[in-house]
């Protein structure tokens, strides 16, 4: 399978990956074959674990925010996009009726297949290889999505508002020539400095200060 070559996967059991692309409609027409449903069930759990572990280890944010980020990146729409990027539709085994009605492009099927592939990868290669694949697809998407993932100011603001405290960003220092300025900002909660940040713009410095406060797990 070309998809295995693309991700440098040497299958121990190629049948697992064949199954990961086998739709129930194909099984109905070809007795003795197994659909991807069981692998999909497993892949769903493996995917949740890998994404959850990544968020826990790399971003010191509240459980609620981690849940939102994970949900946004493992929902059906997101899984569908990952499958399209991997050209998973090309490898699907479909029944004649499903083929005619455009099964290779259906969102629900492609989303399921992505999870099934993760499940097959986990069984055949182990968790580390599964992580490599998920990191190259899902985690890469998380890293690129700055609006959801890197808005540290909003995350800090939400945390502070929950505790009904005041929050302020103070410009401490501005240095460098006009074409290459550097800004230093402190984030202050109830007159106490919780984080410091440096950036090429005031906005970037404020984001870095908020990130610093969150990384310290400040009791704000």
Assess whether 137 and 112 both reside in one domain.
yes
> How open is the CA angle 11-8-114, to the nearest 5 degrees?
75
Assess whether 130 and 206 both reside in one domain.
no
Q: What is the pTM of this model?
A: 0.67
- pLDDT value of residue 65: 77
- pLDDT value of residue 149: 43
Assess whether 29 and 74 both reside in one domain.
yes
Give the end of a domain, one of 94, 120, 149.
149
Give the end of a domain, one of 122, 149, 176.
149
5 is catalytic: no
115 is catalytic: yes
Catalytic residue among 40, 44, 65, 206: 44
Contact 50, 134 (CB under 8 A): yes
- Residue 103 is classified by DSSP as G
pLDDT digits (tens, 9 = 90+) for 59-70: 677 788 788 888
Determine the Cα–Cα distance for residues 61 and 123; give it in Å rounded to an integer: 31
Catalytic residue among 40, 65, 112, 115: 115
Number of neighbouring beta carbons within 10 Å of residue 54: 20
Determine the Cα–Cα distance for residues 187 and 210; give it in Å rounded to an integer: 7
Q: Which regions of the chain are under pLDDT 50?
A: 146, 148-149
Domain that holds residue 98: 2-149
């Amino acid at each position: 399978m070309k998809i295995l070559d693309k991700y440098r996967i040497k299958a121990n059991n190629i049948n697992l990956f064949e199954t990961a692309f086998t739709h129930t409609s194909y099984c109905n027409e070809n007795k003795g074959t197994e659909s991807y449903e069981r692998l999909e069930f497993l892949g769903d759990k493996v995917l949740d674990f890998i994404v959850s572990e990544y968020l826990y280890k790399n971003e010191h944010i509240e459980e609620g925010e981690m849940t939102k980020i994970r949900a946004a990146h493992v929902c059906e729409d997101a899984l569908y996009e990952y499958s399209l990027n991997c050209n998973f539709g090309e490898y699907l085994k479909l029944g004649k009726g499903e083929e005619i009605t455009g099964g290779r492009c259906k969102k629900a099927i492609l989303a399921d297949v992505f999870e099934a592939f993760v499940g097959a990868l986990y069984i055949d290669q182990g968790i580390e290889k599964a992580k490599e694949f998920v990191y190259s697809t899902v985690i890469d998407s998380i890293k690129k999505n700055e609006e959801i993932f890197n808005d540290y100011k909003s995350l800090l603001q939400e945390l502070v508002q929950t505790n009904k405290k005041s929050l302020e960003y103070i410009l401490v220092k501005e240095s460098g020539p006009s074409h290459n300025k550097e800004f230093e900002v402190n984030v202050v909660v109830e007159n106490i400095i919780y984080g410091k940040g440096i950036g090429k713009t005031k906005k970037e410095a404020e984001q870095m200060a908020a990130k610093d406060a969150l990384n310290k797990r400040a009791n704000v």
